[in-house]
Amino acid sequence: MKLAFLFPGQGSQAVGMGADLYANNEQAAAVLNEADAVLGYNLSALCFEGPDDKLRATNITQPALFAVSVAALRAVEAAGITPSATAGHSVGEYAALVAAGVMDFETGVTLVAQRGELMRQAAAAHPGGMAAVLGLPAVDVQAVCAVVTEAGDYVDVANLNGAGQVVISGEQSGVDKAGVALKEKGARKIIPLAVSGAFHSRLMQPAVHTMRGYLELAAFQDAKVPVVANVTAAYETKADEIRENLSLQIASPVRWEETIERLLADGFDAFVEIGSGKVLTNIVRRISKEVLAVNVEDASSLAASIAALGAG
């Protein structure tokens, strides 16, 4: 099998994430202990126990998801499973870069904490919202967003997730008006997302410059295996290219459907989602029913994934 590792983004967090791996896998426990030490607060307790409203705050959610993903990654690696490429959805791209050897965990968790705080600040300065649009082609969603924006209420496509799901982001008035127009155009459902800002939209632009500065100072290596970038849906391996794409990513759409289609076109037939939940696993299964797609978020799913990959 040709195997790709996938890492989830914001929205996949859940109280209790990482607790089972912490209790049952020493490699995973070491990562979460290191996160607490580097950040200077008990991130692992927030992952295990919540409260949910605090875990959903973007400056907490992002390092929490990253730490749990890398904890699960270390458990997967300890089982002898390695990828031929990696990709991550939004903040999940940082875990994908750790898996590809671009940065170590301490560098990654520090950057992700900085990213979360910058995005929190941008959201406070320029409030907005997001909504998932189900059942319409991306081109139709983009056309409606353009019309609403032209009329004075900014909204744009933020996540091109695939399998009939597109996420829009922008001023709340723009998201609301686009939602009405998209329903009239035939969208099956519009689902407002419980987020604290208009992520992956131009309202996040104030965070881009500062994040670029943080990334320029971070210790990066060229990738040992290719990483598919959110911004381009193309393979990247060079450290400087990775830095620039990560800074742009904050205010740019996540091209996830193209990411999976690129991997499929290049013969990848097995995907392991590593971290909280199975959102990306389900997207892969909807895009292609022929490939193996499994997730690792606790000890039992790790064992099941090892068995599935071994059987393949």
CATH code: domain of residue 274: 3.40.366.10
Q: What is the CATH number of the domain that holds 154?
A: 3.30.70.250
Domain boundary among 140, 165, 192: 192
Residue 18 sits in the same domain as residue 113: yes
Residue 172 sits in the same domain as residue 218: no
Q: Is 170 within the bounds of a domain?
A: yes
Residue 194 has pLDDT above 90, yes or no: no
Q: Is 23 within the bounds of a domain?
A: yes
**HSE-CB of 135 using CA atoms within 13 angstroms:** 11
**pLDDT at position 219:** 97
Residue 69 sits in the same domain as residue 206: yes
Q: What is the pLDDT of residues 206-225, one digit of tens each?
A: 999 999 999 999 999 999 99
List the catalytic residue out of 196, 200, 201, 276. Answer: 200
- Catalytic annotation on 89? no
Q: Which residue has the tokens 């399998």?
A: 163
pTM of the model: 0.96
List the catalytic residue out of 90, 169, 247, 305. Answer: 90
Task: Quote the number of domains for the chain.
Answer: 2
Q: How far apart are CA 192 and CA 251, in angstroms?
A: 19
Domain boundary among 173, 192, 211: 192
Residue 157 sits in the same domain as residue 272: no
**pLDDT at position 310:** 85
Q: What is the pLDDT of residues 115-127, one digit of tens each?
A: 999 999 999 999 9
Q: What mean pLDDT comes out for the span 84-102? A: 98
Residue 178 sits in the same domain as residue 207: no
Q: Please, are residues 274 and 5 in contact by the beta-carbon 8 Å criterion? A: yes
Q: Is 95 within the bounds of a domain?
A: yes
Residue 172 sits in the same domain as residue 209: no
Domain that holds residue 28: 3-124+202-311
Q: What is the pLDDT of residues 276-301, one digit of tens each?
A: 999 999 999 999 999 999 999 999 99
Domain boundary among 192, 214, 233: 192
Q: Is 197 within the bounds of a domain?
A: no
Q: Is 110 within the bounds of a domain?
A: yes
- Catalytic annotation on 126? no
Q: What is the pLDDT of residues 232-243, one digit of tens each?
A: 999 999 999 999
Query: What is the arrangement of strands in the sheet containing 165-170, beginning at the earlier edge strand?
Result: 155-162, 165-170, 129-134, 189-192
> Which ranges of the chain would DSSP assign to H, the alpha helix?
19-24, 26-39, 43-49, 52-55, 58-78, 92-99, 105-125, 138-150, 172-185, 205-217, 239-249, 256-265, 279-287, 299-311
Q: Is 67 within the bounds of a domain?
A: yes
The percent of residues in the chain predicted with pLDDT above 70, rounded, is: 99
